[in-house]
Structure 1
């Protein structure tokens, strides 16, 4: 009988070994961070003329008013267009030009409608006959903002309004809101500045947004190096020397412009192009840099999205003009889901890129939260002025950020868990695409790790995310591989059942042996059935009956 138990245990061991023959597939590029994930409206703050808001850490909004009605619009330095979802709004005083225009986004949403002019109020400024795309019912708002205001320069190739304006026969006074403000106020410096706040949930103060003014206490930004803007593309593009990751400078080669952008100034050899874009909640880097940041990190996949343990941290700094600008480790990941065991999982906020559509580095909010940034329009707005440029001032102390990360991360995870618990208790079926307050089963995860030293993925006696974390780093090359653990986790139920059966068998045998030793012996012992040799079953005395070998 003991041999049967050992055979069963060996069978279980064989299943475990077999289950670890894991299929390997390529690691897909993670889903890009959407500019307009699900958000909630910001709350108007009379003390802030622009009502600059941070919404769930995913986007930043400001408020413009039309006929007294507030419109919450995303602030986007990556474009120069203004469009509004005016459904249900009082548009008295507007002029519908009848000229159609449309903007399409990568997430397949659009903002379409006729070019329209109307008076708008933005902060302390009132702009007469501001041109915008009137897009009632646009699906690009996510149903939770009212549009978008672009703070990029007006360049025909990158602006839907500019294209339509230059192709139209109608006479329309055209300019972005910032253009018009600077034109109305010739003594106002032609720059905007940002300090982006850091938060994951709710709508709170977005930090600081100014037009033609410097935030008090940060005047030293005016003495920092002026970073020239290199592409006349409607985007704020400058250059970067490289990236320092955990004390090591990562070298690389620019992906090049691919002929997409006309260069306003020559790009120095050995440097990379970088787009400064408040409309991107994440950040995009060439793949070798992303692999270096997330090397030796366990990565899980659920429904095409990649997840990591939230306690990961790295020292990452961008290098511009020979100076380092640290990124807070807290910005590298974002809480996204809660597993059914209560574990909070995060999603990477830095995505890889293999081709240069907009710039080698696309510095979204992940980077910009660590900088006080000044965008000077220069001769884009006023002919005869200097070339446009960017100035940045570091806001993050690398040593302090590293020391405070653990406590901040733990508090953030606890907050996310509590919010998720409240959300699921009120509506078990509710999920949020932007806030990602979702509860998932670990059985839905597949798994991979990043390393830079080997093409071989190895694993030994690991069967859960915790086991994998304890087992150390798995490995694969820069092109990344992924291991699907869903089959193993499903088989774990079979394994557990077999182990329970084996344990019960062992307990039964020991109990029978003990009872047999205690029972009084008699010369007239009970009859015991003799089992013929080769029989499949044997019969034992006692209540247990038959057991399978």
Structure 2
């Protein structure tokens, strides 16, 4: 479930595709870590919770390397604007319906409001996303107050890239406010604002170096690593971070401010700041993924982005983190987290999962150091394979219909450094020119 893209694709390896119609068109999506989902565009029935689209276009991508075969994750459903859809663009001059799944749902169900919501849960052991609730056209009963929060205008600097991006009015770090440093002029933001994509398909976050410095530079033992474009930190690092939208503060649980990267060759855990620097797409200042979204209930209203809509798209956010309580609970939760990761790395199936010494070094770097890719789009789950740290994404969510919210069983996971392209390392999907493998 990815707010950073708009297409549905499925790894169809071993599946009977005879019930589906082949459009004769091929399409592909390439993510920032260079993984690809490509293949023929098929049409057929797609059922999702209580919604069904009989002739939904999707990419059949057998053998795609964009998901990991050891978990039952068969693909990605993009829930961004149809204007971002690769499939829609490919089929625009054909007789086929190339609209995104959500656009079809909204058009077929005019009585349903044209919005979706995300509420992510936290795994009690490894403290990353362990599931959550996803709704279409309704809100979870316990969080109905989100509809009374300010409507935050969607801002996009490139008319061909309609993203779920809004303005951020500042970041508070240990009581001190930092703001500004946007790459854009006053026609999009004022002097104190930045533009952030709210991306359910990103496991942590990307911010300008100015903000990464503000968050971590004064932590004892912190060193900026130019290869990772992130601060390497002591694993007991405790920092208070809040994002400001308008006049509202959204605290980030301190457990979400750091990520466990792996082990060094001596068996010591290596941690980095979850808010990394560098490699941000040119139409954005920040990408706020799960590290932020685990602390906020988010509503995405499509407005005119949906075929049946007329209003401007907007977002609403509701804070779900009690800052003082999270601060008090950090030490106990972090101890559980560190022990859980040690068990994963050092257990029978996880021994020897080390990070190369030349990847995590103590050298410092200037803000203009060359970028690398640390995380890719969506939930990132570690594959403990033969001593190689592998990136992979998963977002475990479900439709909540009729007020019933059933969580997925969390999978122990470790965000890891990975390989990738020079831009969009967090996997904001970009079109891929199809070629026969």
Q: Are 1:272 and 1:361, in contact at CA under 8 Å, matched by a contact in 2?
A: yes
The 3-state SS of whatever aligns with 1:399 is: helix
Where do residues 316-335 of structure 1 align in structure 2 (5 Å cutoff)? 316-335=241-260
Q: Are 2:209 and 2:278, in contact at CA under 8 Å, matched by a contact in 1?
A: yes
1:83 pairs with one of 2, 6, 9: 9
2:67 aligns with 141
Following the alignment from structure 1 to structure 2, what is the Cα–Cα distance between the partners of residues 364 and 202?
A: 15
Q: Are 1:299 and 1:448, in contact at CA under 8 Å, matched by a contact in 2?
A: no
Question: Residues 190-230 of structure 1: CA distance to partner in whole angstroms, max 9, x if unpaired?
Answer: 11111111226599851211111111111111110000112
TM-score, length basis structure 2? 0.76
Where do residues 280-429 of structure 1 align in structure 2 (5 Å cutoff)? 280-297=202-219, 298-299=221-222, 304-305=227-228, 307-339=232-264, 341-353=266-278, 356-383=281-308, 385-422=310-347, 425-426=348-349, 428=351
Higher gyration radius (CA): 1
Root-mean-square deviation (Å): 2.9
Q: Are 1:336 and 1:344, in contact at CA under 8 Å, matched by a contact in 2?
A: yes
Shift of 1:266: 4.8
2:168 aligns with 240
The 3-state SS of whatever aligns with 1:163 is: helix
Following the alignment from structure 2 to structure 1, what is the Cα–Cα distance between the partners of residues 280 and 269?
A: 33
Q: Are 1:301 and 1:445, in contact at CA under 8 Å, matched by a contact in 2?
A: no
Q: Which runs of 5+ in 2 are unaligned?
A: 371-437
Question: Residues 420-452 of structure 1: CA distance to partner in whole angstroms, max 9, x if unpaired?
Answer: 221xx34645xxxxxxxx246989853157xxx
Decide whether aligned partners of structure 1 residues 91 and 245 sit closer, same or farther in structure 2, where only a CA change above 3 A counts: same
Question: Residues 151-200 of structure 1: CA distance to partner in whole angstroms, max 9, x if unpaired?
Answer: 00111xx321122122x4x3001221111112221111111111111226
Shift of 1:93: 1.7
2:362 pairs with one of 443, 447, 452: 447
Where do residues 96-175 of structure 1 align in structure 2 (5 Å cutoff)? 96-143=22-69, 144=71, 145-155=73-83, 158-166=84-92, 168=93, 170-175=94-99
Structure number with higher helix proportion:
1
1:193 aligns with 117
Q: Are 2:118 and 2:297, in contact at CA under 8 Å, matched by a contact in 1?
A: yes
The 3-state SS of whatever aligns with 1:414 is: helix
Where do residues 26-37 of structure 1 align in structure 2 (5 Å cutoff)? none
The 3-state SS of whatever aligns with 1:173 is: coil
1:209 aligns with 134
Following the alignment from structure 2 to structure 1, what is the Cα–Cα distance between the partners of residues 189 and 80?
A: 20
1:250 aligns with 178
Following the alignment from structure 1 to structure 2, what is the Cα–Cα distance between the partners of residues 268 and 446?
A: 38
Paired residue total: 361
Shift of 1:256: 1.9
Following the alignment from structure 1 to structure 2, what is the Cα–Cα distance between the partners of residues 273 and 381?
A: 23
Q: Are 1:256 and 1:356, in contact at CA under 8 Å, matched by a contact in 2?
A: no
Decide whether aligned partners of structure 1 residues 339 and 300 sit closer, same or farther in structure 2, where only a CA change above 3 A counts: farther
Following the alignment from structure 2 to structure 1, what is the Cα–Cα distance between the partners of residues 254 and 368?
A: 24
Shift of 1:345: 2.2
Q: Which runs of 5+ in 1 are unaligned?
A: 1-74, 258-262, 430-437, 450-475, 482-549
